[in-house]
Amino acid sequence: MLKKYAVRNIRLCTKDCLCLYVCPTGATDTENSIIDITKCLGCGDCAEACPSGAISMVPFEYPNQQEKTDEVVSSLKSLAISKSKQESIAIGLTGTLFKAFQISNHIQTEDLIREAGYMLPQSENTLVFLNSQLEGNQSKDFPKEKVKLLIELLSKNKVKEKMKDKTYENLMAAFTGEAEANRKYIAYAIKAEKEGKLNAAKLFRAASDAETIHALKHFEVAGKIGSTANNLKDGVAGETHEYKEMYPDFVKEAKESGNKAAEMTFTFAMKAEQTHAHLYQEALDNIDETEEVFYFLCPICGNIEKSVPDKCSICGASGSKFIKY
Amino acid sequence: MAKYICAICGFVYDEEKGLPEAGIKPNTKWKNLPSDWVCPICGAVKSDFQKADDLPSNDVNKLAPVVEHLDSMKEMSPLQISALCTNLARGCEKQYKSQEASLFKELAEYYRSISPRENNPDVSQLVELIKKDLEEGYANANAVASKAKDRGALRALVWSEKVTRILNSLLTRYKKEGEAMTDNTGVYVCTICGFIYVGDKLPDVCPVCKVPNFKFEKIEGGHEHA
C-alpha cells in the first residue's frame, strides 16, 4: 500500500519548473496545480527536486494520537477553562487591547486543548467528540448535517488506532521471513528432484506452500492489501525503486568484486523489473479496460512481454520457451 | 553590578552596560530604571524580570500537584468547544484538507454564537484569573506533564505561561495608563501562540514561540460594544 502522496503548497510554488519532468507519471502536470493523486506513486522525486520546498509528501495515515495521561488532560483542561473564561470576559470589554486579549486567549485555549488529546482531526478522540455533539441536546440552529458530513469525511482517513506498532512490525517481519522460506524451499525442492530424492522434494514443495499460506495471511492482517489500483501503483513504485536505485548499485558492486554470475543475475533482474514497472503502469492506466490481455513470461530472466518474441529482448532465450498468462 | 533577565523573551539588562540606544547610561542600577520601563524586545514590565543569580532551579519535585478531576467534555463551555473546533480546523489545514477545515470553522462559529454573554465583565476578573493561572495552574500542570514526560504538553505550557505573563504585564500598564495605552500605537497578536505586542517596533520573531513576525495579526477597532 502507498504510504504517502505528494501535495503542492500553491503559496510557495511558482509553477514553472522541475516537478513537471521528474515525475515518472505526469501527476504534477495539471491545469489546476493540484497534484493528481490518482497518478501519484508516492516516490517523492518531485518533493526532492523542488527548489521552492513547495511539495510535501503527505502520509495517508498519520501516527496514532499520542496517549495522554488523565492528569495531564485534566490539568491542561482546567487551564483551558480559565483561558476561555478570560476570552469571554474580554469579549464583554471594549477597546483594542481587549480585542487582542480575546484572540490571545482563544489561541491559548486551542493550543492547550490540542495537547490534551485533540491534535489529529481523524483521531478517535475527535470522532467521539463529534458523535457526542450529535447525541446531545442542541438548539435548532445546530449544523447537524455538517457534523455528520465531517464524521463521514474523517472516518475515511481515520487514524488506525490500537494496532500496536510492535505487532505491525512483527507481522511484516514474519511476512518477510515466510516469503523468504517459501522461495528457499522451492530452490531446495528443485535440487532434491535433480538428485532423485523425491520424498524430500515433496516435503520441500509442501512446506513451501505452507509458508505461502502463512505469508499471505500475515500480509493481509497487517492491512497491506489495498484496492487493485493502489496495488498497481505500489507495484510501479516497488519495481521502479528496484530498477532505478537498488539493482544499478548491486550490478556495479558485483562488477567491482569480479562476481560475473551475480552481475548477470542482477542485470537480468534490473532489466526485467523495468518492463514490470512499465506494464504495471499500463495496467493502471487501462484499469477499466475489459478486453483480455495476454502476458508472456521468459522463464530464464523473468522478462514479461505482451506477445511472444522470436528471442527474449533481455536474455536472448528462444520465444518458444515463453509461458503464457 | 548585576544582570536582569526577562522571563518572557530572555532579554538581558546589564547594569554595567545600560541601554545607551534608549538613553539609559552605563552603570544604571536596576532599581533606578523608571517604574514604567518595559523590556525593549517584548514589552514585559519590570516585575517580569529576574536577577540573573536568583533564577529558580528547575526542580519539578518542589511543585505539589493539585489535580482537579474534571469530566472531560461535559465541562466544556461553548466558547471552549469553539476553540476545540478552530484547533481541529487548523489541524485539517496542515493536512491540506480544506473541506474539513471549513466545516470545523462553521461549527466553531456556531458554538461562538451560542456562547452566553458575561453579566458584568470587568478587568479585575481578568487580573484574578491570570493571577490564579500563574500561581497555581501552570505549576500544577507543569509538574504533572513533567512526571508524564509529555513533551507536547510541556511545550504548550511554556508558551501559554509566557503569554499569560505578557497579558499580566499589559494589565499592569493598563491600570496606570487606561485606554490611552493603545492610542496612536500598534496592537498585534501572534497567531501561533497568542503573544500580544503593543508598540511600533515589532520584534523580528515572536519573543515566545519564535515564529517570524509576518505571522502577527494587527488588531484594529474593538470598540463595537461601546
3-state SS record for chain B: CCEEEECCCCCEEECCCCEHHHCECCCCCHHHCCCCCECCCCCCEHHHEEEHHHCCCCCHHHCCCCCCCCCCHHHCCHHHHHHHHHHHHHHHHHCCCHHHHHHHHHHHHHHHHCCCCCCCCCHHHHHHHHHHHHHHHHHHHHHHHHHCCCHHHHHHHHHHHHHHHHHHHHHHHHHHHHHHHHCCCCEEEECCCCCEEECCCCCCECCCCCCEHHHEEECCCCCCCC
Portion 30-69 of B in contact with A at CB < 8 A:
65, 67-69
| Number of neighbours of residue A70 by Cβ within 10 angstroms | 13
Residue A129 and residue A94 share a domain: yes
What pLDDT, on the 0 to 100 scale, is given for residue A191? 95
ipTM above 0.95, yes or no: no
- Nearest CA-CA distance, residue B129 and chain A, Å: 7
Burial tier of A265 (Cβ tally within 10 Å: 0-12, 13-18, 19+): middle
How many angstroms separate the CA atoms of A86 and A74, rounded? 18
Residue A100 and residue A48 share a domain: no
- Ramachandran sector of residue B204 (left: φ over 0; alpha: ψ -120 to 50; beta: rest): alpha
Tens of pLDDT along chain A (325 residues) come to 567 889 988 888 887 889 888 998 889 888 878 888 888 888 999 999 999 999 999 887 787 778 889 999 999 999 999 999 999 999 999 999 999 999 999 999 999 999 999 999 988 889 989 998 888 778 888 999 999 999 988 887 665 554 556 788 888 899 999 999 999 999 999 999 999 999 999 999 999 999 999 999 999 888 888 888 888 988 999 999 999 999 999 999 999 999 999 999 999 999 999 999 999 999 999 888 888 999 999 999 999 999 999 999 999 999 999 999 9
Residue A134 and residue A101 share a domain: yes
What pLDDT, on the 0 to 100 scale, is given for residue A4? 85
Residue among B65, B83, B147 minimizing CB distance to A109: B83
Tell me if B144 and A72 make a contact (CB, 8 A cut-off): yes
- Let me know if residue A99 belongs to a domain: yes
How many angstroms separate the CA atoms of A250 and A253, rounded? 5
Which of A21, A20, A13, A22 has the alpha carbon at shortest distance from A44? A22
Residue A137 and residue A79 share a domain: yes
Cβ distance B5 to B48 under 8 Å? no
C-alpha cell of residue A297: 513470461
Cβ distance B150 to A74 under 8 Å? no
CA dihedral A300, A304, A306, A309 (to 10 degrees): -30
Sign of the CA dihedral running A72, A78, A83, A87: positive
Portion 126-145 of B in contact with A at CB < 8 A:
126, 129-130, 132-133, 137-138, 140-141, 144-145
Say how many CA atoms lie within 13 Å of A94 toward its Cβ.
Answer: 6
Q: Using an 8 Å CB-CB cutoff, list chain B residues near A109.
A: 79-80, 83
- Let me know if residue A287 belongs to a domain: no
- Let me know if residue A156 belongs to a domain: no
What pLDDT, on the 0 to 100 scale, is given for residue B65? 47
Cβ distance B190 to B216 under 8 Å? yes
How many angstroms separate the CA atoms of A46 and B119, rounded? 57
- Let me know if residue A18 belongs to a domain: yes
- CA closest to A80 among chain B residues: B80
What pLDDT, on the 0 to 100 scale, is given for residue B67? 47
- Nearest CA-CA distance, residue A199 and chain B, Å: 58
Portion 148-187 of A in contact with B at CB < 8 A:
149-150, 153-154
Q: Using an 8 Å CB-CB cutoff, list chain B residues near A107.
A: 189-194
Sign of the CA dihedral running B20, B23, B28, B34: negative
Among B8, B72, B181, B220, the residue to mutate for chain A (most A Cβ within 10 A): B72
Residue among A89, A116, A118 minimizing CB distance to B88: A118
Whether A74 contacts chain B with CB within 8 A: yes
Residue A76 and residue A51 share a domain: no
C-alpha cell of residue A192: 532434491
Which of B24, B23, B18 has the alpha carbon at shortest distance from B4? B18
φ, ψ for residue A264 (rounded to 5)? -70, -45
How many angstroms separate the CA atoms of B119 and B142, rounded? 33
Whether B103 contacts chain A with CB within 8 A: yes
- Let me know if residue A29 belongs to a domain: yes
Domain of residue A11, CATH code:
3.30.70.20
Residue A11 and residue A41 share a domain: yes
Which of B134, B224, B210 has the alpha carbon at shortest distance from B171? B134
User: Of A141, A162, A178, which residue constitutes the final position of a domain?
Assistant: A141
- Let me know if residue A238 belongs to a domain: no
- Let me know if residue A284 belongs to a domain: no
Total domains in the fold of chain A: 2
Cβ distance B61 to B142 under 8 Å? no
Which regions in chain B score pLDDT beneath 50? 59-62, 64-73, 225-226
The count of CB pairs under 8 A between chains A and B is: 240
Residue among B122, B144, B222 minimizing CB distance to A75: B144
User: Of A12, A27, A59, which residue constitutes the final position of a domain?
Assistant: A59
Residue among B72, B81, B187 minimizing CB distance to A97: B187
C-alpha cell of residue A316: 536472448
Whether B159 contacts chain A with CB within 8 A: yes
- Let me know if residue A41 belongs to a domain: yes
What pLDDT, on the 0 to 100 scale, is given for residue B218? 95
Instruction: Supply the range of the domain harboring residue A75.
Output: 70-141
Residue A41 and residue A14 share a domain: yes
Portion 48-67 of A in contact with B at CB < 8 A:
58, 62, 66
Whether A71 contacts chain B with CB within 8 A: yes
- Nearest CA-CA distance, residue A39 and chain B, Å: 18
Cβ distance B170 to B198 under 8 Å? yes
Hey, is A107 helix, strand or coil?
helix
Burial tier of B135 (Cβ tally within 10 Å: 0-12, 13-18, 19+): exposed
How many angstroms separate the CA atoms of B84 and A81, rounded? 12
C-alpha to C-alpha distances, A84 to A44, A90, A109, B110, B207, nearest whole angstrom: 42, 10, 6, 16, 23
Q: Using an 8 Å CB-CB cutoff, list chain B residues near A141.
A: 110, 113-114
User: Of A141, A167, A186, which residue constitutes the final position of a domain?
Assistant: A141
φ, ψ for residue B97 (rounded to 5)? -105, 85
Residue A110 and residue A48 share a domain: no
Residue A75 and residue A12 share a domain: no
Q: Using an 8 Å CB-CB cutoff, list chain A residues near B90.
A: 110
- Nearest CA-CA distance, residue B174 and chain A, Å: 9
Q: Using an 8 Å CB-CB cutoff, list chain B residues near A92.
A: 117-118, 121, 225
What pLDDT, on the 0 to 100 scale, is given for residue B111? 94
- Nearest CA-CA distance, residue B40 and chain A, Å: 19
Residue among A68, A107, A154 minimizing CB distance to B150: A68
